[in-house]
Amino acid sequence: MSTPTRRPSGRSGPLADIRVIEFAGIGPGPHAAMLLADLGADVVRVQRPGELPSPERNADAMLRGRRVIEANLKNPADRETILNLVAKADVVIEGFRPGVMERLGFGPDDLHAVNPGLIYGRMTGWGQDGPRADLAGHDMNYISLTGMLHAIGRPNEKPTPPLNLVGDFGGGSMFLVMGVLAALVERATSGKGEVIDAAMCDGASVLGQMMWAFRGTGLWQDRRGVNLLDTGAPFYEVYETSDGKWMAVGAIEPQFYAELLKGLELDPASLPNQLDTAKWGELKQIFADTFKTKTRDEWAAIFDGTDACTSPILDFTEAPHDPHLAARGTLVEIDGVTQAQVAPRFQRSATQTPVGPAREATDPATVWQD
């Protein structure tokens, strides 16, 4: 099979010949554009004039790795400029409420008239249809209806929002990126464009598929903090140490559980059975009392190099200095801001460490001049 001709983008990574236009938004849209740029795509962000960061402050690190074009989509000259770029693009992504882009004249039908092979990705919370499609919302709202937010938290306490990881990014940007990649693969056969309806409420539901599966087989209760993976189990829990810090325990399998008990210097014969759910409260208290006898770093040293699935809980300041993360370069500093390195990694079409967010607008006339 012959190797396809690659465009002279000057970029590296598996998406180095893919051109993306990102219509500026917030949250999962920019995150998806960042991920595509991280993998080598040539991403151009279209935003209103006057939104570039001032010299005296850090730029938004999620805007790394792409150029910026300033444009007013209601201005005829700017509209023509962006439509000329659309004709050369592979992908467009936007994150506005349904109908907004159509009213601006940049909806899927408008852009497919210019570029029939265009992949048009739409990122919303509620999706393009349904009773809530036109309503505002944020991550917490999108996961609240799916059962996911209800499932996260402690027994007899209010649900705990998991930052905005489940809705915005896990259920949002990651599914948008997956949709874009799938559509690009399909286009290679059909030659046709596609429209992707990436809704956070849909994606978050799919993220919870294992819980739905457990529930379907009777292994999950609709109560917080009493199940295997929601801190109900004493061997899948976090424990405070003598210095007020924390350890994470995930010793589910018997052989890993045995290593946990060994590190804690607890005699298995003196303890309730690992899977006796009626005694989980008693066992959890024993573990809690034991972890309070040493500092976090003392416990970390004890469990280092073992299969006990027990690790220290680090904060954002500490994480870059963890020996494993440091050895892999998982966290890097770009323009003075510590942030995540590109993931996943590729053996042959290796990616590069991204450049920082743009501080100057790019002249559209210089973009994609084949």
pLDDT in tens, 160-182: 999 999 999 999 999 999 999 99
pLDDT digits (tens, 9 = 90+) for 49-72: 999 998 888 899 999 999 999 999
C-alpha–C-alpha distance, residues 42 and 198, integer Å:
21
Choosing from 90, 139, 168, 202, which is the catalytic residue? 168
Query: If you count DSSP H runs as helices and E runs as strands, how many of each does the chain have, helices first?
Result: 13, 11
Specify whether 138 is catalytic: yes
Q: What is the mean pLDDT of the chain?
A: 96
| Every domain of the chain and the residues it spans | 19-209+346-366, 246-312
pLDDT at position 11, please? Answer: 86
pLDDT at position 55, please? Answer: 85
pLDDT at position 8, please? Answer: 59
Same fold, 19-209+346-366 and 246-312: no
Give percent above pLDDT 90 in the chain: 95
pLDDT at position 56, please? Answer: 82
Task: Looking at the structure, give the CATH architecture of the domain made up of residues 246-312.
Answer: 2-Layer Sandwich (3.30)
Q: How confident is the model at residue 227 (pLDDT cuts 50, 70, 90)?
A: very high
**pTM summary value:** 0.95
Q: 19-209+346-366, what's its fold? A: Rossmann fold (3.40.50)
pLDDT digits (tens, 9 = 90+) for 1-34: 333 444 556 789 999 999 999 999 999 999 999 9
pLDDT at position 7, please? Answer: 58
> Is 192 strand, coil or helix?
coil
Choosing from 138, 150, 197, 322, which is the catalytic residue? 138
C-alpha–C-alpha distance, residues 55 and 147, integer Å:
44
Buried b (16+ CB within 10 A) or exposed e, 262-293: ebbeeeeeebbebeeeeebeebbebbeebbee
Specify whether 324 is catalytic: no
pLDDT at position 2, please? Answer: 36
